[in-house]
Structure 1
Amino acid sequence: MVCVGAFYAMLLIGQWSMWFLLPIAMYALYRTFLQREYIASAVQARRILRVYPWQVLRTPESGIGQIPGAKLGDVWLAFPDPDRPERDVPIILHGHAGSVWWRRRLGRGYDNEKTRQVAEVWFAGDPRFAGVIAVPGPRRLFPLLPFAAPQSCAGGEKQASPEAVKRARRAGVRVAP
Protein backbone atom coordinates (compact mmCIF):
# COMPACT_ATOMS: atom_id res chain seq x y z
CA MET A 1 0.00 0.00 0.00
CA VAL A 2 2.86 2.35 0.81
CA CYS A 3 4.40 1.56 -2.56
CA VAL A 4 1.24 2.57 -4.45
CA GLY A 5 0.84 5.67 -2.28
CA ALA A 6 4.43 6.78 -2.91
CA PHE A 7 4.04 6.41 -6.68
CA TYR A 8 0.75 8.32 -6.59
CA ALA A 9 2.34 11.11 -4.54
CA MET A 10 5.19 11.34 -7.08
CA LEU A 11 2.65 11.90 -9.85
CA LEU A 12 0.72 14.56 -7.91
CA ILE A 13 3.59 16.54 -6.42
CA GLY A 14 5.90 16.56 -9.42
CA GLN A 15 9.30 15.41 -10.56
CA TRP A 16 11.28 16.87 -7.67
CA SER A 17 9.50 14.50 -5.27
CA MET A 18 10.75 11.47 -7.18
CA TRP A 19 14.20 11.71 -5.63
CA PHE A 20 12.69 11.66 -2.15
CA LEU A 21 9.88 9.14 -2.60
CA LEU A 22 11.47 6.67 -5.02
CA PRO A 23 13.69 4.99 -2.37
CA ILE A 24 10.66 4.66 -0.10
CA ALA A 25 8.60 3.12 -2.90
CA MET A 26 11.38 0.70 -3.85
CA TYR A 27 11.83 -0.44 -0.24
CA ALA A 28 8.07 -0.95 0.11
CA LEU A 29 8.04 -3.00 -3.09
CA TYR A 30 10.95 -5.12 -1.80
CA ARG A 31 9.17 -5.76 1.51
CA THR A 32 5.99 -6.73 -0.34
CA PHE A 33 7.78 -9.55 -2.16
CA LEU A 34 9.68 -10.56 0.97
CA GLN A 35 6.42 -10.82 2.93
CA ARG A 36 5.22 -13.61 0.64
CA GLU A 37 8.13 -15.78 1.82
CA TYR A 38 7.37 -15.05 5.48
CA ILE A 39 3.73 -16.02 5.03
CA ALA A 40 4.64 -19.24 3.16
CA SER A 41 7.07 -20.31 5.89
CA ALA A 42 4.50 -19.48 8.60
CA VAL A 43 1.89 -21.66 6.88
CA GLN A 44 4.38 -24.52 6.61
CA ALA A 45 5.40 -24.13 10.27
CA ARG A 46 1.74 -24.29 11.28
CA ARG A 47 1.25 -27.51 9.29
CA ILE A 48 4.26 -29.06 10.98
CA LEU A 49 3.11 -28.00 14.45
CA ARG A 50 -0.30 -29.59 13.88
CA VAL A 51 1.29 -33.00 13.23
CA TYR A 52 4.39 -33.07 15.46
CA PRO A 53 4.52 -32.27 19.20
CA TRP A 54 7.20 -30.07 20.76
CA GLN A 55 10.32 -31.77 22.16
CA VAL A 56 12.46 -29.92 24.67
CA LEU A 57 16.18 -30.39 24.07
CA ARG A 58 18.81 -29.18 26.53
CA THR A 59 21.94 -27.84 24.82
CA PRO A 60 21.59 -29.72 21.52
CA GLU A 61 24.78 -30.51 19.67
CA SER A 62 25.70 -27.74 17.23
CA GLY A 63 28.69 -26.51 15.31
CA ILE A 64 30.03 -24.52 12.38
CA GLY A 65 30.98 -26.47 9.25
CA GLN A 66 32.59 -29.87 9.96
CA ILE A 67 29.71 -32.04 8.62
CA PRO A 68 29.01 -33.31 5.09
CA GLY A 69 27.13 -30.74 3.02
CA ALA A 70 28.07 -27.78 5.22
CA LYS A 71 30.19 -24.93 3.94
CA LEU A 72 32.84 -23.26 6.04
CA GLY A 73 30.51 -20.82 7.84
CA ASP A 74 27.31 -22.89 7.95
CA VAL A 75 25.84 -23.42 11.41
CA TRP A 76 24.14 -26.73 12.14
CA LEU A 77 22.05 -28.33 14.87
CA ALA A 78 21.74 -32.07 15.52
CA PHE A 79 18.44 -33.64 16.56
CA PRO A 80 17.70 -37.27 17.47
CA ASP A 81 16.45 -39.54 14.69
CA PRO A 82 12.84 -40.56 15.56
CA ASP A 83 13.37 -44.12 14.32
CA ARG A 84 16.84 -44.54 15.91
CA PRO A 85 17.14 -42.27 18.99
CA GLU A 86 20.81 -43.15 19.51
CA ARG A 87 21.65 -41.52 16.15
CA ASP A 88 21.58 -37.75 15.53
CA VAL A 89 20.55 -36.06 12.29
CA PRO A 90 22.25 -32.69 11.64
CA ILE A 91 20.31 -29.85 10.00
CA ILE A 92 22.13 -26.92 8.43
CA LEU A 93 20.75 -23.43 9.06
CA HIS A 94 21.52 -21.86 5.71
CA GLY A 95 21.81 -18.10 5.69
CA HIS A 96 18.68 -16.09 5.12
CA ALA A 97 16.97 -13.30 7.04
CA GLY A 98 15.34 -15.50 9.68
CA SER A 99 18.43 -17.48 10.58
CA VAL A 100 20.68 -14.59 11.65
CA TRP A 101 19.64 -14.70 15.32
CA TRP A 102 20.18 -18.46 15.49
CA ARG A 103 23.48 -18.40 13.62
CA ARG A 104 24.92 -15.85 16.05
CA ARG A 105 24.19 -18.07 19.04
CA LEU A 106 24.89 -21.63 17.86
CA GLY A 107 28.12 -23.42 17.18
CA ARG A 108 30.39 -21.01 19.01
CA GLY A 109 32.08 -23.57 21.22
CA TYR A 110 32.39 -21.25 24.21
CA ASP A 111 30.00 -20.09 26.90
CA ASN A 112 28.69 -16.52 26.91
CA GLU A 113 25.37 -14.72 27.27
CA LYS A 114 24.32 -15.37 23.66
CA THR A 115 24.98 -19.12 23.78
CA ARG A 116 23.05 -19.40 27.05
CA GLN A 117 19.99 -18.08 25.19
CA VAL A 118 19.86 -21.35 23.22
CA ALA A 119 20.62 -23.70 26.12
CA GLU A 120 17.04 -24.96 25.79
CA VAL A 121 15.71 -25.48 22.27
CA TRP A 122 12.22 -26.61 21.39
CA PHE A 123 11.92 -28.80 18.30
CA ALA A 124 8.81 -30.05 16.49
CA GLY A 125 9.12 -32.20 13.41
CA ASP A 126 11.25 -34.91 11.89
CA PRO A 127 14.86 -33.80 11.25
CA ARG A 128 15.04 -36.01 8.17
CA PHE A 129 12.28 -33.99 6.49
CA ALA A 130 11.35 -30.66 8.10
CA GLY A 131 10.79 -29.11 11.50
CA VAL A 132 10.35 -25.98 13.57
CA ILE A 133 12.73 -24.77 16.28
CA ALA A 134 12.15 -22.18 18.97
CA VAL A 135 13.48 -20.99 22.28
CA PRO A 136 11.22 -20.53 25.33
CA GLY A 137 9.12 -17.43 24.95
CA PRO A 138 6.90 -15.89 22.31
CA ARG A 139 9.63 -15.11 19.77
CA ARG A 140 12.31 -16.83 17.68
CA LEU A 141 10.15 -19.43 15.96
CA PHE A 142 12.21 -20.69 13.01
CA PRO A 143 10.97 -23.21 10.42
CA LEU A 144 13.53 -25.73 9.19
CA LEU A 145 11.96 -26.42 5.83
CA PRO A 146 13.27 -28.85 3.24
CA PHE A 147 14.95 -26.05 1.27
CA ALA A 148 16.79 -25.05 4.45
CA ALA A 149 18.18 -28.56 5.00
CA PRO A 150 18.86 -30.24 1.69
CA GLN A 151 21.28 -32.88 3.01
CA SER A 152 18.75 -34.27 5.47
CA CYS A 153 15.83 -34.20 3.05
CA ALA A 154 17.59 -35.59 0.01
CA GLY A 155 17.86 -39.09 1.46
CA GLY A 156 15.54 -38.77 4.45
CA GLU A 157 12.73 -40.83 2.96
CA LYS A 158 15.13 -43.71 2.24
CA GLN A 159 16.14 -44.00 5.91
CA ALA A 160 12.69 -43.37 7.37
CA SER A 161 9.98 -45.84 8.23
CA PRO A 162 6.76 -45.78 6.16
CA GLU A 163 4.89 -44.29 9.14
CA ALA A 164 7.40 -41.42 9.33
CA VAL A 165 6.99 -40.73 5.61
CA LYS A 166 3.18 -40.67 5.95
CA ARG A 167 3.45 -38.33 8.93
CA ALA A 168 5.76 -35.99 6.99
CA ARG A 169 3.28 -35.91 4.11
CA ARG A 170 0.48 -35.01 6.55
CA ALA A 171 2.65 -32.12 7.73
CA GLY A 172 2.81 -30.82 4.15
CA VAL A 173 6.37 -31.90 3.33
CA ARG A 174 6.89 -33.04 -0.24
CA VAL A 175 8.39 -36.50 -0.11
CA ALA A 176 9.38 -38.60 -3.12
CA PRO A 177 6.92 -41.44 -3.81
Structure 2
Amino acid sequence: MPATHHCTAWDDPATRRAWAKLVTCAFLGQLLWPAAWLALLAWYVSMSVSWTLWLFFVPLLYTFYRAFLQPAYVSWAFRTRRLLRAYPWQVFEEPRSGIGEVPGATAGDVWLSFPDPECPDETLPMILKVHVRSMWWRRRLGRGYTTAKTLQARQVWFAGDPRFAAVIAVPGPRRFHVVQQHPRNNRGVTDTRGVSPAALDRARRAGVRLPDPDSVAP
Protein backbone atom coordinates (compact mmCIF):
# COMPACT_ATOMS: atom_id res chain seq x y z
CA MET A 1 0.00 0.00 0.00
CA PRO A 2 1.33 3.47 -0.87
CA ALA A 3 0.49 4.80 2.60
CA THR A 4 3.05 2.49 4.20
CA HIS A 5 5.87 4.22 2.30
CA HIS A 6 5.52 7.46 4.26
CA CYS A 7 7.52 8.22 7.41
CA THR A 8 4.28 8.99 9.24
CA ALA A 9 0.64 8.53 8.35
CA TRP A 10 0.27 12.32 8.31
CA ASP A 11 2.71 12.55 5.40
CA ASP A 12 0.16 10.75 3.22
CA PRO A 13 -2.01 13.36 1.36
CA ALA A 14 -5.03 11.03 1.43
CA THR A 15 -4.74 10.81 5.22
CA ARG A 16 -4.67 14.60 5.60
CA ARG A 17 -7.73 14.94 3.36
CA ALA A 18 -9.60 12.32 5.36
CA TRP A 19 -8.69 14.04 8.62
CA ALA A 20 -9.76 17.45 7.24
CA LYS A 21 -13.17 15.97 6.46
CA LEU A 22 -13.32 14.45 9.94
CA VAL A 23 -12.53 17.68 11.79
CA THR A 24 -14.83 19.73 9.53
CA CYS A 25 -17.73 17.43 10.39
CA ALA A 26 -16.82 17.69 14.08
CA PHE A 27 -16.88 21.50 14.03
CA LEU A 28 -20.07 21.61 11.95
CA GLY A 29 -21.70 19.30 14.46
CA GLN A 30 -20.56 21.62 17.26
CA LEU A 31 -22.61 24.37 15.60
CA LEU A 32 -25.55 22.45 14.13
CA TRP A 33 -26.53 20.06 16.93
CA PRO A 34 -26.97 22.82 19.58
CA ALA A 35 -28.82 24.92 16.99
CA ALA A 36 -31.13 21.99 16.20
CA TRP A 37 -31.77 21.43 19.90
CA LEU A 38 -32.62 25.09 20.50
CA ALA A 39 -34.91 25.15 17.46
CA LEU A 40 -36.75 22.05 18.61
CA LEU A 41 -36.98 23.41 22.15
CA ALA A 42 -38.45 26.69 20.89
CA TRP A 43 -40.95 24.80 18.76
CA TYR A 44 -41.75 22.50 21.68
CA VAL A 45 -42.46 25.46 23.98
CA SER A 46 -44.56 27.27 21.37
CA MET A 47 -46.83 24.32 20.49
CA SER A 48 -50.33 24.75 21.78
CA VAL A 49 -51.75 21.28 21.09
CA SER A 50 -50.54 18.98 23.84
CA TRP A 51 -50.59 15.66 21.95
CA THR A 52 -48.15 16.97 19.34
CA LEU A 53 -45.52 17.55 22.03
CA TRP A 54 -44.77 13.81 22.09
CA LEU A 55 -43.68 13.99 18.44
CA PHE A 56 -40.78 16.23 19.45
CA PHE A 57 -39.77 14.49 22.66
CA VAL A 58 -37.42 11.87 21.18
CA PRO A 59 -35.76 14.25 18.63
CA LEU A 60 -35.35 16.80 21.43
CA LEU A 61 -33.58 14.30 23.66
CA TYR A 62 -31.37 13.05 20.82
CA THR A 63 -30.26 16.50 19.68
CA PHE A 64 -29.49 17.41 23.31
CA TYR A 65 -27.41 14.24 23.63
CA ARG A 66 -25.47 15.03 20.43
CA ALA A 67 -24.94 18.67 21.45
CA PHE A 68 -23.59 17.50 24.83
CA LEU A 69 -21.34 14.88 23.19
CA GLN A 70 -20.00 16.99 20.31
CA PRO A 71 -17.03 18.64 22.14
CA ALA A 72 -15.62 15.14 22.65
CA TYR A 73 -15.75 14.61 18.87
CA VAL A 74 -13.63 17.73 18.33
CA SER A 75 -11.13 16.61 20.99
CA TRP A 76 -11.10 13.11 19.49
CA ALA A 77 -10.29 14.52 16.02
CA PHE A 78 -7.22 16.35 17.32
CA ARG A 79 -6.09 13.30 19.28
CA THR A 80 -6.33 11.37 16.02
CA ARG A 81 -4.06 13.91 14.35
CA ARG A 82 -1.39 13.61 17.05
CA LEU A 83 -1.21 9.85 16.57
CA LEU A 84 -1.14 10.18 12.78
CA ARG A 85 1.75 12.65 13.04
CA ALA A 86 3.80 10.30 15.20
CA TYR A 87 3.34 6.88 13.57
CA PRO A 88 3.32 5.45 10.03
CA TRP A 89 0.50 3.39 8.59
CA GLN A 90 0.90 -0.37 8.82
CA VAL A 91 -1.37 -2.63 6.79
CA PHE A 92 -2.78 -5.83 8.31
CA GLU A 93 -4.76 -8.39 6.37
CA GLU A 94 -7.46 -9.94 8.53
CA PRO A 95 -5.93 -9.16 11.95
CA ARG A 96 -7.08 -11.47 14.70
CA SER A 97 -10.19 -10.22 16.46
CA GLY A 98 -12.78 -11.52 18.87
CA ILE A 99 -15.44 -10.72 21.44
CA GLY A 100 -14.58 -10.93 25.15
CA GLU A 101 -12.14 -13.57 26.42
CA VAL A 102 -9.13 -11.23 26.84
CA PRO A 103 -8.00 -9.42 30.02
CA GLY A 104 -9.96 -6.22 30.60
CA ALA A 105 -12.78 -7.12 28.19
CA THR A 106 -16.38 -7.71 29.17
CA ALA A 107 -18.53 -10.33 27.49
CA GLY A 108 -19.57 -7.90 24.74
CA ASP A 109 -16.28 -6.07 24.11
CA VAL A 110 -14.82 -6.43 20.61
CA TRP A 111 -11.00 -6.46 20.29
CA LEU A 112 -8.31 -6.44 17.62
CA SER A 113 -4.86 -7.93 18.09
CA PHE A 114 -1.61 -6.47 16.69
CA PRO A 115 2.09 -7.49 16.99
CA ASP A 116 4.19 -6.08 19.82
CA PRO A 117 6.78 -3.79 18.10
CA GLU A 118 9.62 -5.14 20.24
CA CYS A 119 8.42 -8.77 20.32
CA PRO A 120 6.84 -9.41 16.89
CA ASP A 121 6.02 -13.02 17.79
CA GLU A 122 3.65 -11.76 20.49
CA THR A 123 0.37 -9.97 19.83
CA LEU A 124 -1.47 -7.49 22.02
CA PRO A 125 -5.27 -7.15 21.98
CA MET A 126 -6.76 -3.65 21.91
CA ILE A 127 -10.36 -3.36 23.09
CA LEU A 128 -12.95 -1.27 21.25
CA LYS A 129 -15.06 -0.04 24.15
CA VAL A 130 -18.75 0.62 23.51
CA HIS A 131 -19.10 4.09 22.02
CA VAL A 132 -21.02 5.65 19.14
CA ARG A 133 -17.72 6.00 17.26
CA SER A 134 -16.92 2.30 17.63
CA MET A 135 -20.23 0.92 16.38
CA TRP A 136 -19.18 0.60 12.73
CA TRP A 137 -16.14 -1.46 13.74
CA ARG A 138 -17.95 -3.51 16.37
CA ARG A 139 -20.47 -4.70 13.78
CA ARG A 140 -17.70 -5.98 11.49
CA LEU A 141 -15.13 -7.56 13.81
CA GLY A 142 -14.88 -10.57 16.07
CA ARG A 143 -17.64 -12.60 14.42
CA GLY A 144 -15.56 -15.63 13.55
CA TYR A 145 -17.33 -15.99 10.19
CA THR A 146 -17.39 -14.03 6.94
CA THR A 147 -20.24 -11.76 5.85
CA ALA A 148 -20.56 -8.81 3.51
CA LYS A 149 -20.00 -6.53 6.49
CA THR A 150 -16.93 -8.30 7.87
CA LEU A 151 -15.31 -8.10 4.43
CA GLN A 152 -15.43 -4.29 4.74
CA ALA A 153 -12.89 -4.53 7.59
CA ARG A 154 -10.85 -7.36 6.13
CA GLN A 155 -7.83 -5.07 5.70
CA VAL A 156 -7.03 -2.75 8.61
CA TRP A 157 -4.66 0.23 8.51
CA PHE A 158 -2.95 0.81 11.84
CA ALA A 159 -0.99 3.88 13.02
CA GLY A 160 0.27 3.66 16.56
CA ASP A 161 1.73 1.35 19.16
CA PRO A 162 -0.49 -1.50 20.43
CA ARG A 163 1.08 -1.11 23.87
CA PHE A 164 -0.41 2.36 24.15
CA ALA A 165 -2.79 3.80 21.55
CA ALA A 166 -3.42 3.84 17.82
CA VAL A 167 -5.66 4.98 14.99
CA ILE A 168 -7.27 2.24 12.95
CA ALA A 169 -8.85 2.75 9.53
CA VAL A 170 -9.99 0.86 6.47
CA PRO A 171 -8.23 1.43 3.12
CA GLY A 172 -8.58 4.92 1.77
CA PRO A 173 -8.07 5.72 4.60
CA ARG A 174 -11.60 5.87 5.98
CA ARG A 175 -13.44 5.19 9.22
CA PHE A 176 -10.78 6.56 11.58
CA HIS A 177 -11.13 5.23 15.10
CA VAL A 178 -8.83 5.71 18.10
CA VAL A 179 -8.17 2.64 20.24
CA GLN A 180 -6.07 2.56 23.38
CA GLN A 181 -4.54 -0.09 25.54
CA HIS A 182 -6.42 -0.94 28.71
CA PRO A 183 -4.60 0.56 31.75
CA ARG A 184 -2.74 -2.09 33.70
CA ASN A 185 -2.37 -0.24 36.98
CA ASN A 186 -4.47 1.90 39.29
CA ARG A 187 -2.93 5.17 38.08
CA GLY A 188 -4.84 4.97 34.81
CA VAL A 189 -1.72 4.62 32.64
CA THR A 190 -0.33 1.62 30.83
CA ASP A 191 2.57 -0.27 32.36
CA THR A 192 5.77 0.83 30.61
CA ARG A 193 8.15 -1.84 31.89
CA GLY A 194 10.24 -3.34 29.10
CA VAL A 195 9.41 -0.56 26.61
CA SER A 196 12.36 1.16 24.96
CA PRO A 197 12.99 4.88 25.68
CA ALA A 198 12.51 5.68 21.97
CA ALA A 199 9.07 4.05 21.96
CA LEU A 200 8.09 5.92 25.13
CA ASP A 201 9.25 9.23 23.69
CA ARG A 202 7.25 8.63 20.53
CA ALA A 203 4.17 7.72 22.53
CA ARG A 204 4.43 10.94 24.54
CA ARG A 205 4.70 12.97 21.32
CA ALA A 206 1.55 11.19 20.15
CA GLY A 207 -0.31 12.39 23.24
CA VAL A 208 -0.32 9.13 25.20
CA ARG A 209 -0.55 9.63 28.96
CA LEU A 210 2.54 8.05 30.49
CA PRO A 211 4.42 8.48 33.76
CA ASP A 212 6.94 11.31 33.90
CA PRO A 213 10.33 9.75 33.02
CA ASP A 214 11.94 11.53 35.98
CA SER A 215 9.45 9.91 38.36
CA VAL A 216 9.97 6.33 37.18
CA ALA A 217 12.26 4.30 39.41
CA PRO A 218 15.04 2.38 37.62
Match of 1:100 in 2: 135
Q: CA deviation at 1:99?
A: 1.4
Percentage of matched positions with identical amino acids:
49
Q: CA deviation at 1:10?
A: 4.8
What 5-or-longer segments of structure 1 have no aligned partner?
A: none
Aligned residues: 174
Q: CA deviation at 1:68?
A: 1.8
Alignment of 1:71-150 (within 5 A): 71-145=106-180, 149-150=182-183
The superposition leaves residues 28-87 of structure 1 with CA deviations (integer Å, 9 ceiling, x where unpaired) of 221111111211111111110011010001111111222222222221111111122221
Residue 6 of structure 1 contacts residue 22 of structure 1 at CA under 8 Å; is this kept in 2?
no
Q: Which moved more, 1:49-58 or 1:18-27?
A: 18-27
Structure 2 residue 61 is matched with structure 1 residue 26 = yes
Q: For residues 131 and 156 of structure 1, what CA distance do their matches in structure 2 show? A: 16
Structure 2 residue 41 is matched with structure 1 residue 7 = yes
Q: CA deviation at 1:14?
A: 5.4
The superposition leaves residues 93-113 of structure 1 with CA deviations (integer Å, 9 ceiling, x where unpaired) of 111111122112111112222
Match of 2:102 in 1: 67
What 5-or-longer segments of structure 2 have no aligned partner?
A: 1-34, 213-218
Q: CA deviation at 1:131?
A: 0.3
Q: CA deviation at 1:137?
A: 2.9
Q: Which moved more, 1:24-33 or 1:38-47?
A: 24-33
Alignment root-mean-square deviation, CA = 2.3
The TM-score normalised by the length of structure 2 is: 0.71
- Residue 54 and residue 127 in structure 1: after superposition, are their counterparts in 2 closer, same or farther (change >3 A)? same
The TM-score normalised by the length of structure 1 is: 0.85
- Residue 172 and residue 72 in structure 1: after superposition, are their counterparts in 2 closer, same or farther (change >3 A)? same
Which AA in structure 1 matches 2:66?
R
Which AA in structure 1 matches 2:167?
V
